Amino acid sequence: MNLYIKTYRHLINPSPMIDGKEYLTSVYRSLGIDYPKFFKMDNLSKLGFLASELIFKDDPSRFVPREDLAVIGFNRSASLEADTAYQATIQDNKNYFPSPAAFVYTLPNIVTGEIAIRNKFYGETSFYISEQFDAEQIFRTVNHAFQDKKTRSVLAAWIESFDGTQEVFMMLVETETSEIPFSIKQINKIMNN
């Protein structure tokens, strides 16, 4: 099957000196949207959410429920950032305040759910972990996702938020012909741009 990258976005916190939360809030403000749920999200979900907003903001048929789009995330650290934050709430039995709102983000796939909720995507949502950004694995996994007969588009993203790194690279891969063919070479080229 011939697949194409319809569009893509790359967000990266330019400096370790810039606080992660502040960086994400500034991107959110620049979008001019009103979505209060954003402020409840962990950084990983915020990153994915913002990239998906950039990809779909001008889509005229946006918010029409659809089952033919899959959201697939990839990263290195799973939810270790949220895990660390949650661990701090249970570390000491004398100062023990586990919060369900913090616990729910200790799963990397929550970001795919946040994007599905925002856009009414009823299709597949999945999350994969790898040691490093692996264009070959992303290419193969996205290709395979089209084996589901319903799937016509895959929103695929490398989303990393941990230990000083904040980066999301997201692309919309479709069966419909467009300029950029979906290939390992193109994934690497766009990612390293």
Partner 1 sequence: MIVRIGDNIISALGFTTDENYSAVKSGRSGLRLYDSCMDAPEPFIASLIDKERLNDEFSRTDFPSFQNLESLNLESLTVLEKASILSVLSANKEAQIDLANPRVLFIFSSTKGNVEQLTMNNEQLTMREDKNCSLSIVNYSLYLWQSAQLIVNYFKNPNTPILVSNACISGACAQIAAMRELESGAYDYAVVIGADMLSKFIISGFQSFKALSPEPCRPFNANRTGLNLGEAAATIIYANGASYGGGLRVGARNAMTLVGGAIRNDANHISGPSRTGEGSYRALRSILQDVTPDEIAFINAHGTATPYNDNMEAIAIARAGMDAVPVNSLKGCFGHTLGAAGVLESIVSMHALLDDTILPTRGFENKADDCSLTIVNQMMPTKKSYFIKMLSGFGGCNAALLFNKTE
Binding site for partner 1 (CB under 8 A): 19-21, 43, 65, 67, 70-71, 76-78, 80-88, 90-91, 93, 96, 98-100, 103-104, 106-110, 112-114, 116-117, 119-131, 134, 137, 140-141, 143-145, 147-150, 162-164
How far, in Å, CA of 139 to CA of 173, rounded?
A: 10
Shortest Å, Cβ 164 to partner 1: 5
Q: Are 159 and 24 spatial neighbours (Cβ–Cβ below 8 Å)? A: no
Nearer to partner 1 among residue 39 and residue 122 (C-beta): 122
Shortest Å, Cβ 99 to partner 1: 6
For tokens 């089952």, name the residue. Answer: 67
How far, in Å, CA of 144 to CA of 67, rounded?
A: 17
Q: Are 172 and 55 spatial neighbours (Cβ–Cβ below 8 Å)? A: yes
DSSP string for 111-136: HHHHHHHHHTB-S-EEEEE-SS--HH
Nearer to partner 1 among residue 151 and residue 178 (C-beta): 151
Q: How far apart are the first and last CA of the chain?
A: 26
Nearer to partner 1 among residue 20 and residue 54 (C-beta): 20
Nearer to partner 1 among residue 8 and residue 49 (C-beta): 49
Nearer to partner 1 among residue 12 and residue 117 (C-beta): 117
Shortest Å, Cβ 179 to partner 1: 26
Shortest Å, Cβ 145 to partner 1: 8
Shortest Å, Cβ 153 to partner 1: 14
| Burial group, residue 36, by CB count within 10 angstroms (0-12, 13-18, 19+) | exposed
Nearer to partner 1 among residue 165 and residue 178 (C-beta): 165
Shortest Å, Cβ 93 to partner 1: 5
Q: CA geometry: angle at 56 spanning 71 and 65, to 5°?
A: 65
